[in-house]
Structure 1
Amino acid sequence: MKAWQVHELGEPRDVLKLDDVAEPEPAAGQVKVKVLAAPANFPDVLLCRGEYQVKPPLPFTPGVELCGEVVAVGAGVTRAAVGDRVVGNPILPGGAFAEYAVLPQESTFAAPSALDDAEASALTIGYQTAWFALHRRTQIREGDYLLVHAAAGGVGSAAVQLGKAAGATVIGVVGGPAKAKYAQDLGADLVIDRHSEDFVPIVKEFTKGHGADIVFDPVGGDAYNGSTKCIAFEGRIVIIGFAGGTIPRPALNHALIKNYSIVGLHWGLYHAKGPQVIDECHVELTRLADKGLVKPLISERLPLTEVADGIGRLGDGSTVGRVVFQP
């Protein structure tokens, strides 16, 4: 089969090679799928660079989520059967940017019928991360002001839709006019282009001095620092990642004086600490998809042959919305 492989670490365009490799076979408790769609995620960029928290042995195939058709199952599998359309997270080093992949059954979920293959493929990591951030870690409430950084990105776009579904007023911060249009299409109530505007005074004015009740921050750096200046009383800043490249050093005296919380989220830990909660999350996301309240907006649907360029552009920050590869 065809699969993109990384033989040495570096920038995606330089190290991703389309190879012929043997098809994987499922072991006990595993599900083999024909890949129908696989989205680009920022962890794929970090995997190529060797900067992700998971470091698979070389060579490996990146691609951390997919939608696929089950073609074989290992012994003891009860969550999927041959012919099912599923979404989930493949087992590295055999990722989703290939014609076939293997998933552990605990990371395999029924694909929502309301979503097509490309849309369904983008429903696990980004949407589950955003759901845990908003519903488990910051307890979003109807009427909250939610400030989302990188609102046109994979996880930020999910936070915008889930925030609206929860009844929040959503403020999205993006970089550039094309990304601003995408965030508006997602349903953000206010979109701020950080390339031309300072989000801090705009958030204060828009919220009539109240500030953001929840800040969703996958960026770090200046995004985090500015957020501390427009956070509400009893506000919560949830740390998702550091796509901006700079890890902030929080001034804890400032959090004390302004009475706000700094909350971390590591979505992957829930697989070990509370896998039943991930199942509950998928049920809720499926319900919201069926009601039309969440729907990944796919900006590019590309053939498998364009993975290296697509992941490279994601790493450059030049993509808008979700980029999905379909073999």
Structure 2
Amino acid sequence: MPVHGSPPPAHPATAGPTGRPGAAGARRAAAGKGGPRYGTGRRAERLAPYVLLAPAILIILALRLFPLLLGVNFSFTGDGEHDGQPVGLDNYAELLRDPLFRTALENVGLLVLLLPVAVAIPGLLATFIHLRVPGHRFYRGVYFFPAVLSPVIVGAIFNLLLAFDGPLNSGLGHLGIGPVDWLGDPDIAMFTVVGVHIWATFGMALVVFLAGFSTLDPSLQDAARVDGASLPQLIRHVIVPGLSRTLQFVVVTTMIGMLTSMFGLLYVMTSGGPEGSTYLPEYYVWIQQGQLNRPALASAASTVLFVIMLVVGLAQIALLRRSGRES
């Protein structure tokens, strides 16, 4: 019989050895008191990432996705006397009939073929710097300098160097090689502009490669050297598989840069010539919008350029992933 004023005895299921509530009883009591608050806290934790991401998602939707959809919709309208009127696929049919746009598409194919060169140059230089081969200090000191120059400045510099009577042809003349019309020959002008673009932009890709090298396991490289692996074998079997994700990023960003960042060089060095041989979709869009005042046709060309970048980028990623699994 309990004494007056003493606490009631604990339930046997919840009482500890001393008669006080045990751990199970304490947890049950805490759950009874704070259950709703605990559930609310878990719900807030689950919603917190979405709340934090909401501003960025809204910015992307407002400034990226909506203008893209607006441009695609605008490509199905007319220009001139049919301004704003739906014309279906007429703009796309006109693009396919335009020889300048077909040349621009052919040059896109040329860029895809030259992409391995644009990726290999910074990749090899980053490898030399990482392996500390002779001359790596020189490359480390000067590799990023061209990336800080404006494309207009780069184009003006190479216009002087590559002129028909410029320093490069003068040097070739001393070697007994005739002068080359680097920017006036339709067969080589596009190669010249792409080469200048690679020289001016490979510094950014090299920085990405150097960051990727910092994630490699040094023990794998040491083991390969101990086994007598040559430099080409080390690059093929150790470095390239270890940099697969870095390589995917560099390939895609380099391709996008070649398709969308060569306008300044094209405008300064060739203005789309000679004979339209250096047209790219980006330059074609500017001509239609800025000079011919045909925004609907320019929107159609922009849509085609977007689809090309999407397809090429996804195809490159798929090929790189497959080659990474095979290696």
Give TM-score, length-normalised by structure 1.
Answer: 0.24
Give the structure with the larger helix fraction. 2
More relative contact order, 1 or 2 (CA 8 Å, 6+ apart): 2
Name the larger-Rg structure: 2
**What TM-score do you get using the length of structure 2 for normalisation?**
0.24
